[in-house]
Amino acid sequence: MEKEKVKGELPQPYRRLLPPKRRLLSLAALAALFLLAGFFLGQAARANTGLVPGSEQDPLVTVSWVEARLSAFAQGQSLPMGPAVPAEPVRIVEPAPTYVVVVVEPGKKLLTGEGTEFILRSGNARALVPVKETGLVNLTTGRNVNDGERLQRDNLYLSPRDDGRGAVAETQAIFLVRSKYRII
């Protein structure tokens, strides 16, 4: 019986190394020590030297630089050492079109142009596609919408061609339209 008691119990020094409060304090001090050691080791290895990205000391390259080097190499030209400079800067000629609120009365058609995007915000409407086996592209779900199918609210549709595609309003419908359109 005495043997069983000895096996089940640990000797007094191993029961509790530290009381719970001191254990938590010791863990916090140990964590702080590791953080400080990591910081000083990083400084010793010069982890933060203040290098400018893309400079000669920190050679960060872009895709255009690599493509310019590869095309010059393929053509047998000498390779430029400096960064590739575009021949002409890109300029925006006109602002991008914005969405316009369009109200379509029941029975009327919203005909869209090539590349026109539209969203049905309220009401009911059906797809209008005059050419068989083509359709409007529902960019939200990633599928084609054929002629006569009901348009879903708050989905983004794209008209790929200017051939009479669009929507027919069953009730008063409110659309957000970006680019060319007409109501007939």
The structure tokens listed for 162 are: 């200017």
pLDDT at 32 over 60: yes
- The pTM of the whole model exceeds 0.75: no
Q: Does the structure show a pLDDT above 80 at 21?
A: no
Q: Per-residue pLDDT for 93 more than 80?
A: no
Residues forming beta bridges with residue 183, ordered by sequence position? 110
Q: How confident is the model at residue 16 (pLDDT cuts 50, 70, 90)?
A: low
**What CA–CA distance (Å, rounded) separates 153 from 124?**
8
Tell me what the mean pLDDT of segment 157-162 comes to. Answer: 93
pLDDT at residue 138 above 90?
A: yes
Instruction: Please list, residue by residue across 164-178, b when 16 or more beta carbons sit within 10 angstroms of its beta carbon and e when fewer do.
Output: ebbbbbeeebbbbbb
**In this predicted structure, what is the pLDDT of residue 47?**
58
